[in-house]
Structure 1
Amino acid sequence: MSPVAPPPSLIQALRTETAELHVALEKRLPFFSPHLDLGLYQRLLAAYYGFYQPLEERLHRLALIPSGLDQSQRIKLPVLRADLIALGKDAAAVDALPVCRELPQIDSRAAALGVSYVLEGATLGGQILRRRVAEQLGLDASSGAAFLNVYGELTGRRWKDFLQYLDDRNLGEAQTLEVTHAAKATFTYFERWLDSQKVLS
C-alpha cells in the first residue's frame, strides 16, 4: 500500500485555492494600464478605502484576530486616508466616500486569518505597484502613495512573520477549509466592489 500523502500546509492550501482569483484580479487592476492618471489613481484609492474601512472595522470589532498576531501594526486605513488627503480630498470628503456593504463572512478566527492573508499579501504586492506609481505619476509616500509602501522597510519581514504565524497554526481540515474559504471570498468581494466603483480594466 502506498503511503498517504500528508495534507498540504495552510500556506500551500491558501496559495493553491486563491491563485486563480488572485491572478484574475491582478490582470484587471489598472496600475499598469496606459490610462493610469492621477484621476484614476485617486478613484482607485477611494475604492480601496471603501473596502478596507468596513473590513478592518469588522475584524477589530469582532476581536477575532488570533493572539500572537499584532493587528495594531497591520492597520492600513489611516495611511489610505492620509494618501487621499494628500491627493486633494478633505477629511469630510473622505468620510463621505461610499463603503462596501458586501463583505466576506468573518465568524471565526480561521475566517479572520483568511481575510488577513489577502490583506497582507496585497501589502507585499504594493512594493511593485509603488515603483510603477512613482514612474507613471511621480508620487511617493509623502504625496499620495504611502499605502503602497505602508510597512516601508519592514514589508519583507512582516510578510515572513505572517507566513511563519500561519505555519505555526495547527489547524485541522475543517479549519483550514474555513481559512481558504474566507480568503477566496475576500478576493471575490473585493473584485466585485472595485468593479462596482468602475476602477477595473
Structure 2
Amino acid sequence: MQAKAREVYVPPVLQDLRAGTAELHIALEKRLPFFSEQLDANAFRRLMQAYYGFYRPLESALLASACIPADFDIAPRLKTPTLQRDLHALGESPEGLEHLPLCRQLPVIESSAACLGVLYVLEGATLGGQILRREIATRLSLDADNGAAFLDVYGAATGRRWRDFIEYLGARLMDVAERAAVVAAAQTTFSCFERWLESREVLA
C-alpha cells in the first residue's frame, strides 16, 4: 500500500492569485524576447530601458501610496536602483536616464491589498530572472557586473526572499473582498506591464 502524499496547505489568497494570474503570466512570458535570436546587446539595452520605465514609476507609486503594510520592509526589495546601475553599465548617461519615457498607465494602489497584489508580480519576476540570467550570460556575456544585475537582483537569496514574501502574504488575515483586491491588482500589474512593453516595441 502506497503512503499517502502529505498535502501541502496553500493559503486561499495564494490559490486565488495563482488561478487569477496564470493566463496573464504565461501570455506575457511567451512574448518576452530574452530567448529570441534577434536579442543582441542593443535590443537588451532597449528592453532594460523599458523595464526601468515601468519599475521606476510603479515603485514610486508604491512608496507614495501610504498603503504598504507597516510590518513589511519594502526598501530591500526595490529594483529601480539596480536597473539604474545596469543601464549606466550598458552605456546610458545620467542625462539619458532622466529622459527615458516612463509608464503612466499604472495599477491603482489604494489599499494594502492592492499593494500586495502589485508586489506579488514584482517579487515573482525575480524567480524567472534566474533562468534569464543564465541565458543572457551565455548569449551576451552580461552578468551582475556589467549590465544584467537586475536578472539576479537578490543573488543567492532569491529563493529565500520569495518564500519569505509568500509566507508573509499567506499569513495575513484577509476576507473575500481583500483577496479579490489582491488578485485584481496583480492582474492589472501584468496587463499594464505588457501594454507598456508593447508600446515600447520590445516584445517578441
With structure 2 as the length reference, what TM-score do the two structures score? Answer: 0.94
Partner of residue 117, structure 1: 120
Higher alpha-carbon deviation: 60-69 or 21-30 = 60-69
CA distance in 1, matches of 2:157, 2:72: 15
Residue 8 of structure 1 and its aligned partner are, at CA, apart by 6.3
1:174 aligns with 2:177: yes
Partner of residue 31, structure 2: 28
CA distance in 1, matches of 2:88, 2:202: 19
Residue 68 of structure 1 and its aligned partner are, at CA, apart by 2.1
For residues 138-197 of structure 1, the C-alpha deviation after alignment (integer angstroms, 9 at most, x for no partner) is 001010000000111111100000000011011000000000000000000000000000
| Structure 2: segments with no counterpart, 5+ residues | 1-9
Partner of residue 106, structure 1: 109
For residues 52-201 of structure 1, the aligned pairs below 5 Å read: 52-201=55-204
Match of residue 11, structure 1, among 6, 11, 14? 14
Q: What's the RMSD between the two structures over aligned residues?
A: 1.0
Supply the AA of the counterpart residue of 2:73: D
Residue 12 of structure 1 and its aligned partner are, at CA, apart by 1.1
Partner of residue 4, structure 2: none
Supply the AA of the counterpart residue of 1:197: R
CA distance in 1, matches of 2:140, 2:57: 28
CA distance in 1, matches of 2:143, 2:56: 22
CA distance in 2, matches of 1:188, 1:119: 13
Count of aligned residue pairs for this structure pair: 195
Residue 64 of structure 1 and its aligned partner are, at CA, apart by 1.2
Supply the AA of the counterpart residue of 1:179: V
Q: Is the 8 A contact 2:11 2:170 kept in 1?
A: no
Match of residue 45, structure 2, among 42, 46, 50? 42
| Structure 1: segments with no counterpart, 5+ residues | 1-6
What's the % identity of the aligned pairs? 57
Structure 1 outlier segments of 4+, above 3 Å: none
For residues 94-114 of structure 1, the C-alpha deviation after alignment (integer angstroms, 9 at most, x for no partner) is 111000000011111100000
Supply the AA of the counterpart residue of 2:79: K
